[in-house]
Structure 1
Amino acid sequence: MYVILVYDIKQKRVGKMLKLCRRYLNWIQNSVFEGELTDVQLKELLYEARRIMNDEEDSLILFKNRDKKWLDKQIVGVERQSTDDFL
């Protein structure tokens, strides 16, 4: 499935969350990631994210779709990290 992940994490935990998300997804902008994940990978990512997060201070939002082709992506301005070059 194609996933867009957005998080808002307190500064003292943001480094750990960044490293975690980069293991599974492509970084596209501050606190925003995208990519293809299996169901198992998504469960692993969420399990590890919950271990980093403080439920009273932090949030993580997932947008899921079966396939990237059903998502119309438009970039206005500078693209932080292009994913178009990946094979």
Structure 2
Amino acid sequence: MYLILVYDIGQKRVGKMLKLCRKYLHWIQNSVFEGEITPVKLKELLAEAGKIMDEEQDSLIIFKSRNEKWLEKEVVGKEKNEIDTFL
């Protein structure tokens, strides 16, 4: 599945969440990630995120799609982290 993940995490925990999300997805902008992920890997990500988060203060939002082709992405201004498809 393809997803976009957005988080709002307290300053003390934001570094850990950034590092975690980079293990599974592509960083595209501050606190925003996207990419293909399997259901099993998503469960792993959410389990690890739950250990980092304070659910009273922090939030994590996930937008899911079966495939990237079903989403239209438009960037206005400078793209923070271009995803390079070259190997």
TM-score class, shorter-chain normalisation, is: over 0.9
Partner residue, 2:71? 71
Partner residue, 1:37? 37
Alignment partners' CA distance in 2, 1:38 and 1:31 = 21
- 5+ residue gaps, structure 1, are none
RMSD between aligned residues: 1.0
Aligned residue pair count? 87
Amino acid at match of 1:42: L
Match status 1:12 vs 2:12: yes
Partner residue, 1:54? 54
TM-score by length of 1: 0.96
Alignment partners' CA distance in 1, 2:85 and 2:78 = 16
Amino acid at match of 1:75: V
Alpha-carbon deviation of 1:85?
2.6
TM-score by length of 2: 0.96
- Structure 1 stretches of 4+ with a deviation exceeding 4 A read none
Alpha-carbon deviation of 1:86?
4.8
